[in-house]
Structure 1
Amino acid sequence: MSHVISVNLANPHPNPAKSGVGTTGIDKRPVDHPVEVRAPGPNYGGLGSGLVGDGVFDRQNHGGDDQAVYAYSRENLDLWQRDLGRTLTNGMFGENLTTSGVDVEAALIGEHWRVGAAGPLLEVSVPRIPCATFASWLDERRWVRTFTERALPGTYLRVLEPGEVRAGDRITVEYRPEHDLTVGKCFRALTIEPELLPLLLDIEALPGVARELARKRTAAAILAPAPFTPAAD
C-alpha cells in the first residue's frame, strides 16, 4: 500500500553554505501528531512551507505554492543508505513526507495525490534540484553531482485542497494527466539530458520558471548546440 511513513518538520540550525540566509530548515524530524497542510502563498510574503510548524528560510530558492510540500521515498533513502554506508533517517533529505510504496520519480507532473481518507489533495509540480545547502548538510564529497547523476530527486507538490496529514496515511492517485512527463524525466531534462527539454514547454502544471528555463535553453541549443552539465559541487 502506498502511504506516508513519516511527516517531518524543520529543526532549524545555522546554514554555513549560504551566509546571506543564515538559517536552514533542511534538517527535518518526524513528528507524532497530525500536521495541517495548506497552500503557503508566494515565496515572498507567503508562509514558506505548506506544513504548519515547518520552516523555509531561503525564500529566494525554496517554499511557496509550487514547492509547498516535498516528498521522498523510503525506498530511495534505503538505496542511498546502502551506497553511502551511513544511516539516513526519515526527513534527512529535507523531505516533509517520507513515503513507501510510491514510485515518486514515475509520478506525472500534474498528478493529484490524496493523502489520507479526507486529507489534503496535492499536485505533483516539479522535481527537487540539489543545492549547496543540501551538499553541506550531508557532507558528502561531490554530492550535487552524485545526486544529479543518480536522478532520484523526489518531488515538490502544490496544495490544491487543505487538510491534515499524519504517519500511516494512505496515498491515493486521484488523477493522472494524459502527457508522459514524469518527475524523473523532467529532472533529467533540467540537468543531464537537455535533449528532453522540449517536452517541458507545454506542460501547464510545471511552474512558470521551469517552463521559461526550458524555453531559453531550448532556444539557445538551437542557436548554438552545446551539452549542458550540472553546476560543479
Structure 2
Amino acid sequence: MKIYSLNVGLPQLVSNQKGQVVKSGIRKKPVASVFLAKNGFQGDDVADKANHGGDDRAVCFYPYEHYEEWNDLVERELSIPAFGENITIAHFPETEACVGDVIEIGEAAVQITHGRIPCAKIDIFNRVNGMFYKVIQTGKTGYFARVLKEGTVTENSPVKLADRLESAMTVAHLNHLFFFDRTNKPELERAVSIPELAEDMRSRLKQLLDKI
C-alpha cells in the first residue's frame, strides 16, 4: 500500500454542463502534508453533514487502480481526486480492505468502517451522467475510516496494515450485501455484529433485516 495522492478541500459550489449547482466538499486538492484529527483532516469538511462526515467517516479512501477503468468509460483522464477522496490509495482495493482493518499512515492510525455510498454529486462534479450508478454496479465505491490516532500525514508517509479481525469482512462483500444481496439474512446478521462497523451502516443493515 502507498499514498498516490493526499487531498483536502472545504465545501464549495460545483456545477455541471446542465447548469446544476450544488454545494459539496467533493472538490479537493492534493497537498504535501496535513494534520489528521479525530474528526478528519485539517482544511477538509463536508457540506451535507446529515449524510456525510462524522467520526465514523472521518477519512475517505479511493483506490488508485480504478481510475484506469473510469478514464476509459468517460474517454478522458479524470483529475485526481475525482471522487472527493482524502487519500487516493494504491494497492488496497475494496476486495482486499476489510471492515475493522487498522491502517497506520505516518503518525496517524485509522480503522476502516464501511464502504462509501455514492451519490449524484459524483456525476455533477465529473460532468458524467450515470457515473455514480456505475460506481454502485461495479462495487468500486472507495471506503471510509475513523481516526484512532491523530497525527501528521504526508504524501510520502508509509502505509501499513497494522491489525485485522479474525472473521474479517471485505468492503466489497459488505457493498454487495447492501446494494444487491439484501435478503441474505445470515450474512447481514454477520455484518451487523461487527463492532467496528460504522453505526450508520449498522442501522441501515438492521432496517434490511427487519424487512426480511
TM-score (norm 1): 0.82
Q: Are positions 1:27 and 2:15 aligned together?
A: no
170, 193, 197: which one pairs with 2:188? 197
CA distance in 1, matches of 2:71, 2:22: 28
82, 94, 101: which one pairs with 2:72? 82
1:212 aligned counterpart, secondary structure: helix
2:156 corresponds in structure 1 to 168
User: Which contiguous aligned blocks of 4+ residues in structure 1 show a shift greater than 6 angstroms?
Assistant: none
2:6 corresponds in structure 1 to 7
CA distance in 2, matches of 1:212, 1:88: 34
CA distance in 1, matches of 2:116, 2:29: 19
1:122 aligned counterpart, secondary structure: strand
8 Å contact from structure 1 (residues 72, 95) kept in 2: yes
Q: How does 1:4-83 map to 2 (within 5 A)?
A: 4-10=3-9, 12-15=11-14, 23-32=23-32, 34-40=33-39, 50-83=40-73
Q: How does 1:119-130 map to 2 (within 5 A)?
A: 119-130=107-118
1:228 corresponds in structure 2 to none
8 Å contact from structure 1 (residues 6, 168) kept in 2: no
89, 95, 119: which one pairs with 1:131? 119
CA distance in 1, matches of 2:133, 2:200: 22
Deviation at 1:132, TM superposition (A): 2.3
Deviation at 1:178, TM superposition (A): 1.0
Amino acid in the other structure paired with 1:25 = G
2:133 corresponds in structure 1 to 145
1:214 corresponds in structure 2 to 205
- The percentage of aligned residue pairs carrying the same residue is 27
TM-score (norm 2): 0.89
**Structure in which a larger fraction of residues adopt strand:** 2
The Cα offsets for residues 134-169 of structure 1, whole Å up to 9 and x where unpaired, read as: 222222222232111010111101100001111122
CA distance in 1, matches of 2:202, 2:142: 19
The Cα offsets for residues 43-97 of structure 1, whole Å up to 9 and x where unpaired, read as: xxxxxxx000112111111111011000111111222212322212221110000
CA distance in 1, matches of 2:94, 2:80: 16
Deviation at 1:206, TM superposition (A): 0.8
- Identify the range of structure 1 (207-216 vs 67-76) with the bigger mean alpha-carbon deviation: 207-216
Q: How many residues align?
A: 205
- Identify the range of structure 1 (119-128 vs 87-96) with the bigger mean alpha-carbon deviation: 87-96
1:106 aligned counterpart, secondary structure: coil
Amino acid in the other structure paired with 1:215 = K
1:145 aligned counterpart, secondary structure: helix
Q: 1:104 to 1:35 in 2, by over 3 A?
A: farther
Deviation at 1:15, TM superposition (A): 4.8
Consecutive unaligned residues in structure 1, runs of 5 or more: 41-49, 222-233
